[in-house]
Amino acid sequence: MRYTFLSCLALAIGIGTVAAHTPPPLLPEKEVAALANELSGETAKRNLEGLARFHRQRGSQGFHAAAELIAERARAYGLSNVQILQFPTDGKTLYGTQLGREAWDADEGELWEVKDSGELQLASYAAEPVVGRGQ
């Protein structure tokens, strides 16, 4: 049993050592190092928090505002020729086998739990709205 454990430990250390010296598979090491110096989990989280503020039902004003935010961030990161493509959301157009749903925007809404013992409000758009029309 002891020899099995030691063998597994030696194998794991050996694999770790080999993996530590294996170059990245898709990009040259210089480019990977440059990316590692530029990438930030904190920035990614801030970008996600910005997107989460929008009601992003396809075709809604919030969806378009989220697309604009992504395009603006892409330009700020130095990308050029950034475009937002628009497609009909009319409830009639097929995309492959999927019918494109009609666009809609949320103005108000509430979620209630109803039991014999009473009612409990769980959520309210008025209390915590996502960014909607032109906000």
3-state secondary structure the chain: CHHHHHHHHHHHHHHHHHHHCCCCCCCCHHHHHHHHHHCCHHHHHHHHHHHHCECCCCCCHHHHHHHHHHHHHHHHCCCCCCCCCCCCCCCCCEECCEECCCCCCCCCCEEEEEECCEEEEEEECCCCCCECCCC
Q: What is the mean pLDDT of residues 13-24?
A: 61
pLDDT at 19 over 60: no
Q: What is the mean pLDDT of residues 11-38?
A: 72
pLDDT at 32: 84
Averaged pLDDT of the chain? 82
What's the pLDDT band for 70 if we cut at 50, 70, 90?
very high
pTM: 0.59
pLDDT at 107: 83
Question: Tens digits of per-residue pLDDT, 76-114?
Answer: 989 999 999 998 989 999 989 988 889 888 888 899 999
